[in-house]
Amino acid sequence: MSHELLTEHGVTPELAGLAEKFYLQALSEPENRRLNDLLRDDGKARSFLLAYGSIHARLSWEYGPTLADKPLAQLSRVEDEGCHPRPDRSNQEASGFNWLAWFSQRRPLLVRLGGAFAVLALGLGVFLVTRLRPSQPEPLAVVTRCLGVQTADSRGDLRSGQGLGPGRLTLEAGTVEVTIQNGARILLEGPATLELLTPLRAYLQAGRAVVHVPEAASGFVIETRDANVLDVGTEFGVKVGPDRGTEVQVYQGSVFTAAKSAAGRTNSPQRLLAGSAARLDPDATEMFQTLPFAPDRFVRQLPETKAGSKDTLPLSNQPRWDRIEIMPASQPVAIDGNLSEWDRQRMFRSQCDGAKDHGVEGALMYDADYLYLGAHVADPAPMRNVIDPATDGDAGWKGGGLQVRLSTDRALGWPVDANADIYYQGQPMTQRPQDLNERIVHLTLWHHAPGQKDCLHVSYGMDFHGGQTNPSGYRAAFRKDADERGYTLEYAIPWALLKAQADPPRAGDILAATWTVHWSDDSGRRWRGQLVEIRNPSEPPRNNPWDRAAGWGKAMYR
């Protein structure tokens, strides 16, 4: 446990350190005596040592044999040797009773029976709920907050106060806070899939989650494909992306993390303290890799909103455009955030349903060397994006920006028959060669406010391979409106980054493209909604265009 957390619960760092050494059997003789003094004089200290033992029991249960399971070392005898507990507690505290020896005699039971007791308690709870209240079972968790949520599973639209039983929760976008019956809170940030298992366990299949665990729920476990994360009364974030590996960042307290081996077994746990982050990857040479701590890596809380407020609903639109005409640049294009070189009459225009202050006008141009993107975005909170390109370039859209997806391969034609490996749905599909075509390109454009950097993330194929953030060769400019109700962006992206340098699109080509404009709230971190334009009307409507290229509209090069 961290010193900050211990101070909050009235336990000194000294006692915490001695407790840890006690259960690891690493106390020196002077430390033995000091711990016994603390236990004799302070009932809170004795309660703390018992609670600490339950954590070690949970570690043993989760990860198999640990240091706590090894045979007890011979402890030094301390004063009042051979004494046993007396019924009169007031007399005990005044006597020389050896509390440390008393705990030592019970340490094996704490360590070896703690996990079994937890399993038994959970089983008994399920039995009682099922047998005694079959008509109205208590929900495992309750939805306590929502912001811009789009769901993609059988639970339907989520709402505050909705009860959730064990099962899968899938978000296409947005953020939801779920409070488990034991008080543990999970803030799930879409796109993500989380499976609620028990009051002390959940499985994060994909996406990001921040977990806040109160003292009463210590021992909560987040499991992923590659790792287990065991809390010790804390706040931590977990990220699972499309590639192997799990990222963990601790905001308060500490956690124990363990990467899973190829056979599914967990390796020896590593302790991660507040203010630190790590990546666990069983395929890497070093399975435990330290990462820089990034405060804005996760959404940690949602803003206060009134029940039923439209601010909790995602921004969206009904697409109006099935094509975009891409004109040749008639003059050199200065990338300065000023669209004076652009024919504004040829730009497409669209806005979110019922939100005139959230809209876009945009266009594409090209020449022999570059594809140019120009747009004006109406945004009441412009250019506040705090998503760090150094750590989370693939998520830059969440803080507000633009995504453009396109094909530069005329052999694919239009519509493009290519699908994503839909890992967010929990049912990976076998991918075909066209699904992996690297001339299917995904572009994310945003302005990083803290670093004053105009950013670009690019990835390839419907499996999003080869991701790069701020690669060399592109030019970009953002410019905020004078009234601070919108912004203009302008990009020049070389055909080489679009894998088309040897054979770029030319006049007469009809390829595929789609645009998605994203908005955040005032924080520049919490996603508020999107606008999707340039789509194939013959395809069924979709909230997100990233997983099926056949839904993209026509890109007509003039």
| pLDDT of 152 above 90 | no
Q: How confident is the model at residue 47 (pLDDT cuts 50, 70, 90)?
A: low
State the first-to-last Cα distance of the chain, in angstroms, to the nearest integer: 64
Q: Output the 3-class SS for 92-146.
A: HHHCCCCHHHHHHHHHHHHHHHHHHHHHHHHHHHHHHHHHHCCCCCCCCEEEEEE
Closest among 265, 262, 299, 58 to 177, alpha carbons compared: 299
Quote the pTM value: 0.68
At 514, is the secondary structure helix, strand, or coil? strand
Domains in the chain, ordered, with CATH?
Answer: 3-116 (no CATH), 141-291 (2.60.120.1440), 315-557 (2.60.40.1190)
Rounded to an integer, the average pLDDT of 7-33 is 71
Cα-atom radius of gyration of the chain, to the nearest Å? 28
- pLDDT value, residue 125: 42
Q: Is the pLDDT of residue 426 over 50?
A: no
Residues 6+ apart with CB under 8 A from 482: none
Q: What residues have CB less than 8 Å from 102, skipping those under 6 apart?
A: 85
Please list, in sequence order, all residues whose beta carbon lies within 8 angstroms of the beta carbon of residue 62, skipping any fewer than 6 positions away: 115, 221, 228, 230, 256, 258, 266, 269
Tens digit of pLDDT for each residue in 503-515? 999 999 999 999 9
For 445-483, the pLDDT digits (tens) are 999 999 999 999 999 999 899 999 999 999 999 999 999
Residue 137 confidence (pLDDT)? 66
Cβ-based neighbour number of residue 331 at 10 Å = 7
Amino acid of residue 512: A
pLDDT at 232: 79
Over residues 87-93, the mean pLDDT reads 40
Task: Please work out, in degrees rounded to the nearest 5, the angle formed at the alpha carbon of residue 242 by the alpha carbons of 249 and 493.
Answer: 100
Is the pLDDT reported for residue 60 higher than 60? Answer: no
pLDDT at 304: 72
pLDDT above 90: percentage of residues in the chain: 52
Helix axes 43-63, 99-132, angle to 10 degrees: 60
Lowest mean pLDDT, pick from 59-63, 109-113, 497-501: 109-113
Q: In the structure, what pLDDT confidence band is assigned to residue 312 with cuts at 50, 70 and 90?
A: low
Neighbours of 47 (CB within 10 A): 11
**Per-residue pLDDT averaged across 344-357, rounded?**
93
How large is the average pLDDT for residues 176-195?
93
